[in-house]
Amino acid sequence: MAKLSNTLYQSRRNQLMESVTQGSVVVLRTGGLCTRNNDCEYEFRPNSNFFYLSGFPESDAYLMIDGHGRSHLFSLPKDMEKEQWEGFRYGDDAAEEFGIDEVKTLASLDESALAMLDGADKIVFPFADEIVRDKVNSWRSTLVKRARAGAIAPAAFQDLAPILAEMRVIKSEEEISLMEKAAQISVLAHRAAMRIVQPNMMEYQLEAELNYQFMKSGSRQLAYNNIVASGSNACTLHYISNQDEIRNGELILIDAGCELGFYASDITRTFPANGQFNDAQAALYQVVLDAYYAGFEKLRVGEAYESSHNAAVEVITAGLLKLGLLKGELSSLIESKAYRDFYMHNTGHWIGLDVHDVGAYKIDGKSRPLQAGMVLTLEPGIYVSKDNMNVESKWRGIGIRIEDDIVITDTEPYVLTHGLPKEIADIEALMSKH
């Protein structure tokens, strides 16, 4: 599996401990297995914050960092009989494998936590995690009850989530290089899908090509459910049933990205089932592409995060006005958000360990300035409902989105998903090669 270096996890833990006050103890956990049906479980995927600080991929584990900055992992113990059925566990070897200071079994968590928290000033944990919250409350109550025996319970709690969100929003070079690998596998898969699509295929048959290419190229997981949406299905933003037949003359919107080393990629392309855009499809597509370029220009250090969205909205509204889907005056259509009938989502989001990654978009109520090392998607779109009787019939049921993953740098924005055509002529040229 693609793996970042242990020193990176150590330096993240150090950075975290530097940003909390001395005498703080950090607690977080990864997830458990989820039932799919009866005794079948979904494949496990670690909690992103937990993985970010530990690199430890197993389920059912806690990580604590004590007041001296030492890391303690509590995990399922080695158990040959269980491992025979459920698979390998690191057990104590996790210390060396992941550079953790101490590894203990999950069963010893309560006792160790009480010892670590006795005399600590503050417990830093994810407030949204009810299981950790209950644990922390019960540990604190126990220490309060032991006061006469000399125990000192921590007096304060702090939410871990916003601290880690701020750390995670800026990516290191190692992370960016792993994300580029994920992005390039996804590019291969999208290229393959464009080349093999045929009218009358089922959407899931085209999806099979994506999955095949992801796995063949080294990615075992998806970053999110594949969207393979033909015709008006593309107007359902999170269409994942992928069960319709692809018809001649329709566009297909594919929004699919693999995960590599638990880092996401997220790409959308929209292309014609028969390899040729018709005039209405091409006209709307060009508006979305122009919006992409307008948004791209704003992806510079110091620009407000929302500038890129605003630039895309202006181009989309102007385009819809020119083509007659909207009527009125440009500035008032933007002001009244009239474009939202056709463009109802944002133009991007942070991306990293989570496809919709953590990190504030506003600071003190204002859109935050972009910084080098931020990674985000740029994904303008236009969606004309098949039931929209206010527009000419030729526009109805067309859904288009174009999405790339982009790193903010001190110079030009860097497109991680490079090498995948988005110009009409380039898509048609790629699709004509069999």
- In the residue annotation, 39 being an active-site residue is answered as yes
Interface residues for Mn ion in 262-281 (CB under 5 A)?
A: 266, 268
Task: Single out the residue of 318, 315, 285 nearest to residue 424, CA to CA.
Answer: 285
User: Closest separation between CB of residue 344 and ligand GLY, Å?
Assistant: 13
Among 58, 255, 259, 354, the residue binding ligand GLY under the rule CB under 6 A is: 255
Among 224, 263, 305, 339, the residue binding ligand GLY under the rule CB under 6 A is: 224
**Distance of CA 103 to CAs 7, 32, 114, Å?**
17, 18, 16
Among 129, 207, 255, 354, the residue binding Mn ion under the rule CB under 5 A is: 255
User: Closest separation between CB of residue 279 and ligand GLY, Å?
Assistant: 28
CB closer to ligand GLY out of 27 and 375: 375
Produce one character per residue of 57-88: b if its CB has 16 or more CB atoms within 10 Å, e if not: bbbebbbbbbbeeebbbbbbbeeeeeeeeeee
CA distance 414 to 311: 19
- In the residue annotation, 41 being an active-site residue is answered as no
Interface residues for ligand GLY in 290-349 (CB under 6 A)?
A: 349
Hey, CA dihedral for 4, 8, 12, 14, is it positive or negative? positive
Interface residues for ligand GLY in 34-73 (CB under 6 A)?
A: none
In the chain, % helix, strand, coil (3-state, to 5) comes to: 40, 20, 40
- In the residue annotation, 345 being an active-site residue is answered as yes
CB closer to ligand GLY out of 203 and 266: 266
CB closer to Mn ion out of 66 and 405: 405
Among 230, 242, 270, 377, the residue binding Mn ion under the rule CB under 5 A is: 377
CA distance 314 to 113: 54
Site string for ligand GLY, 358-397 (x = CB under 6 A): ---------------------x------------------
User: Closest separation between CB of residue 277 and ligand GLY, Å?
Assistant: 22
CB closer to ligand GLY out of 259 and 314: 259
User: Closest separation between CB of residue 241 and ligand GLY, Å?
Assistant: 15
DSSP states of 149-199: GT-----EEEESHHHHHHHHTS--HHHHHHHHHHHHHHHHHHHHHHHH--T
Residue 229: alpha-carbon gap to chain centroid: 20
- In the residue annotation, 134 being an active-site residue is answered as no
User: Closest separation between CB of residue 55 and Mn ion, Å?
Assistant: 25
SS3 call for 296 = helix
CB closer to Mn ion out of 48 and 268: 268
User: Closest separation between CB of residue 269 and ligand GLY, Å?
Assistant: 12
- In the residue annotation, 403 being an active-site residue is answered as yes
- In the residue annotation, 266 being an active-site residue is answered as yes
Q: Which one of the listed residues 36, 68, 340, 356 is annotated catalytic?
A: 356
Pairing, β 122-125 against β 156-159: parallel
Interface with ligand GLY, residue 207, by CB under 6 A: no
The answer to whether residues 161 and 49 touch, using CB atoms and an 8 Å cutoff, is yes
CB closer to ligand GLY out of 94 and 400: 400
**Distance of CA 322 to CAs 228, 284, 308, 387, 398, Å?**
29, 11, 21, 21, 17
Task: Single out the residue of 36, 30, 23 nearest to residue 51, CA to CA.
Answer: 30
- In the residue annotation, 383 being an active-site residue is answered as yes
- Other Cβ atoms within 10 Å of 228 Cβ, number: 30
Q: Which one of the listed residues 349, 368, 396, 428 is annotated catalytic?
A: 349
Site string for ligand GLY, 258-277 (x = CB under 6 A): --------x-----------
Q: Which does 284 bind (CB under 5 to 8 A by kind): Mn ion, ligand GLY, none?
A: none
- Helix pair angle (109-117, 130-145), 10° resolution: 60
Pairing, β 71-75 against β 102-105: parallel
CA distance 293 to 314: 12
Q: Which does 357 bind (CB under 5 to 8 A by kind): ligand GLY, Mn ion, none?
A: none
CB closer to ligand GLY out of 94 and 228: 228
- In the residue annotation, 379 being an active-site residue is answered as yes
**Distance of CA 4 to CAs 53, 101, 113, 170, 299, Å?**
11, 18, 28, 16, 27
User: Closest separation between CB of residue 138 and ligand GLY, Å?
Assistant: 38
Q: Which one of the listed residues 173, 238, 279, 434 is annotated catalytic?
A: 238
How many residues in the shown chain lie near ligand GLY by CB under 6 A? 7
Binding-site ranges for Mn ion (CB under 5 A): 255, 266, 268, 377, 403
**Would you name the residues annotated as active-site residues?**
39, 238, 255, 266, 345, 349, 356, 379, 383, 401, 403
Binding-site ranges for ligand GLY (CB under 6 A): 224, 255, 266, 349, 355, 379, 403
